[in-house]
Chain A
Amino acid sequence: MQLDDLNAIAEKEKAAAKKVCLRTCMSAGCMSSQADVINKNLDAEVKARGLEGEVEVRRVGCMGFCGQGPLVGVDHDDGRHELFEFVKPEDAPAIVNSLKGGPCDVQRGDPQHPFFAKQVKIVRANGGIIDPESIEDYIAAGGYQALHQVLTEMKPAEVIEEITKSGLRGRGGAGYPTGLKWGTVAKSPGGKKYVVCNGDEGDPGAFMDRSVLESDPHLVLEGMAIAAYAVGADQGFLYVRAEYPLAISRLQIAIKQAKQLGLLGGGIFETPFIFNVDIRIGAGAFVCGEETALMASVEGKRGTPRPRPPFPAESGLWGCPTLINNVETFANIAPIIGRGADWYASFGTEKSKGTKVFALTGKITNNGLIEVPMGIPLRQIVEEMGGGAPDGRKIKSVQTGGPSGGCIPADFLDTPVDYESLTKLGSIMGSGGMVVMDDTTNMVEIARFYMEFCMDESCGKCIPCRAGTVQMHHLLEKIAQRKATLRDLIKLEELCDMVKNTSLCGLGQTAPNPVLSTLKFFRKEYEDLLQPDQFGPPGNGQPNPQSAPK
């Protein structure tokens, strides 16, 4: 495979394109509502009318508007785009009919709606447009050009320099500078190195990585190959949880296709560069998203974290230097190389560059996946793009960062969405889950829910996380059931402090965050549930507010 061959594939693919294209979303969400039947019916309908010469029926990845699925997009020959929502298999004749101006009562979406108009698509640029199971489609969209550019024109250090310049920070949650991480792995001594893609997405309400893997698997593979070249690795592992069977099967297809075309394996683009990727299927333990636990799992051991240092960059898989990045981080790489670090850095804020994909869910009118530039005010996401809370209710808070994050109250909706601003509010960017809550939401119940999640997902290795979360959950349940006193609340706060400061890994260290942030902003909701203490005011001479005269 050389550049000419790559371009030839792209040209052939483009030449074969038909004037009109019907695109059916084939992501897990729409598939669960019979998207594959819809697609089959559309195909049959097009054939029955003898339109196969001018109308293409394509299976595509996620279009983002998941709450309105199944979705069918239409590209007309005059450049118009249409979007059909809540499509049923029996709607196929009407949709095909409408191509020639016939009547069609299927609900139409508005492609100009802020939900779409405010997005800046870098990671999800191909989502909903290309067929994720066709490497030719990806190549026609400019795929593998960046890998070619890197292998033939750039030294590894130049690649790292470019990524550093782009300002990209890890999209898995903590926001560690990607270029710095790559540089550390590249400089670590050792012959054998590994690249690992962390696709163990497990935050409640989050599905960004799943969607990227399902919609554009080659983008992630290309990013990993570029990373491998930059740090000097020849073997990669894609760690995906078993709950994502569609993502796994599309990755398997993608790896096979890339190998057949010589874009993975030995002598890629006729250079000495070798890169192989294997999939590792995780059994669905939340803690396996923690990098040291993930590595243990890849090695075939029980997925439990270990103390750091040594960091994976120095001693990772089987003791070798290992680069671990999240799915979305890798998906950003090819666009950065292809269009330049300066172009990428032109999006976002000073310290948080580029875009971020969020899974907007909860009590919100438009839920689905959005990709927005960093620094966009939370209000624009929630009120304009998301359309606010349904049924005219008021938004009370937005939970970001999953079980490691916190709840941001509605008063702070004007906060720009970047790493630092969210941290200041006691929450985090996280991998991109964004759960909106309206004024009917009970914040104590939310804290209890996340604590239950952490309690169940604790690996059991260190005591603060294993036993501390159980006790915190006990106390939250007691408060929620109106059986607790101020003593219990103080005990809960003490436990939060202890578990945060003494736990071994990030899961335990952040498990108290949903409690701490709801206590910070919605303390009254907790206090309203407390009972008077039969033993009088708790220690330290503090008066019991319950017994104080009103």
Chain B
Amino acid sequence: MAAKTLTIDGKQISAEEGATILQAATEAGIAIPTLCHLEGVYDVGACRLCIVEVAGIPKLLPACTTRVVEGMDIKTDSERLRKYRRMILELLFAERNHVCAVCVSNGNCELQSLAYSNGMDHVRYEYNFPKWGVDTTHGLFGMDHNRCVLCGRCVRACWHIEGAGTKNVAGRGGKSRIITDLNMPWGEADSCTSCGKCVQSCPTGALFHKGSTVGEMERDRGKLEFIVTAREKKQWVAAD
């Protein structure tokens, strides 16, 4: 495999052929914000937070699904990108009912950290205040649709790591929601193995362990990566 050399934010780096811009940047110590990206499952380019500017290409490209090309000149942190990222985060906060103060993931939430790190200090858009329910029919876990950002990580983890295919997306547009089996209460879903991988993968407090109180949810994403690495590369080494 030939290595590619490229420039990210003015820094000359080399990357493996076939690597994504996100992988190349992460390896070079350049952080690009992501939300739908999850180590271990394939990328879908849905959250648009990792969009970058590539010289010579008028369109903005998602770093998680765009492969590196020799000589690419990439900007990950322009004024324009920062503005778009803040707007995307604002839109997410306005979309559902993200109330950090009463959330199990307060302090352990990727949406919250992204808002901090991207300088989103207030929301200029009208809050939708939708009426979403909470599904606590499962013995171990719960799903609070009010905190869901529809990143689809749980869906991908369930299909591609656990192989159960319990979670999926139903509905369209702003009415999209994560469903269990054929839109039944989680507790009645036959296909669910109660493995908890979806809970591990969730970036917010939408999927949680029952019994956790406010601010208690910590996740161990390394487990997901460990399983995938073990399965695909036959290496039983936990990612740190």
Residues of A within 8 A of B (CB): 285, 302, 306-307, 455-464, 466-471, 474, 491, 494-495, 498, 501-504
Contacts and interface: CB of A to CB of B under 8 A. Distances in A.
For the complex of A and B, list the 6 residue pairs with the smallest distance between their C-beta atoms, beginning with the closest.
A460-B176, A467-B91, A458-B173, A307-B45, A307-B65, A467-B95
A462 B48 contact: yes
A494 B169 CA distance: 29
17 contacts: A307-B66, A455-B173, A457-B172, A458-B174, A459-B172, A460-B171, A460-B174, A460-B175, A462-B46, A463-B46, A466-B174, A467-B91, A467-B95, A471-B91, A474-B125, A474-B126, A503-B48
B84 interface: yes
B51 interface: yes
Contacts of A463: 46-48, 88, 91-92, 149
A466 B94 contact: no
A358 to B, nearest CB: 29
B12 interface: no
A502 B65 CA distance: 14
A119 B187 CA distance: 63
B128 A470 contact: yes
Q: Count chain A CB atoms within 10 A of each CB in B83, B88, B168 and give the residue with the most.
A: B88
Interface string B36-66: 0000000011111001000000011010011
Nearest to B171: A460
Interface residues of B, number: 34
A495 B88 CA distance: 10
A491 B51 contact: no
B172 A460 contact: yes
Given A501-B60, A502-B88, A456 B45 contact: no
Contact of A460 (B47, B91, B150): B150
Interface of B: 44-48, 51, 59-60, 62, 65-66, 83-84, 87-88, 91-92, 94-95, 124-126, 128, 149-150, 152, 168-169, 171-176
A161 B51 CA distance: 38
Contacts, number: 91
A495 to B, nearest CB: 7
Contacts of B59: 501
Contacts of B128: 470
Given A464-B88, A464-B91, A471-B91, A457 B173 contact: yes
A456 B126 contact: no
Q: Count chain B CB atoms within 10 A of each CB in A302, A463, A491 and give the residue with the most.
A: A463
B163 to A, nearest CB: 16
A460 B94 contact: no
Contacts of A491: 124-125
B113 to A, nearest CB: 17
Given A285-B172, A466-B174, A495-B87, A461 B95 contact: no
Contacts of B65: 307
A469 B87 CA distance: 13
A301 to B, nearest CB: 10
Given A307-B65, A502-B51, A504-B46, A459 B94 contact: no
B167 to A, nearest CB: 12
B125 A471 contact: yes
B169 A467 contact: no
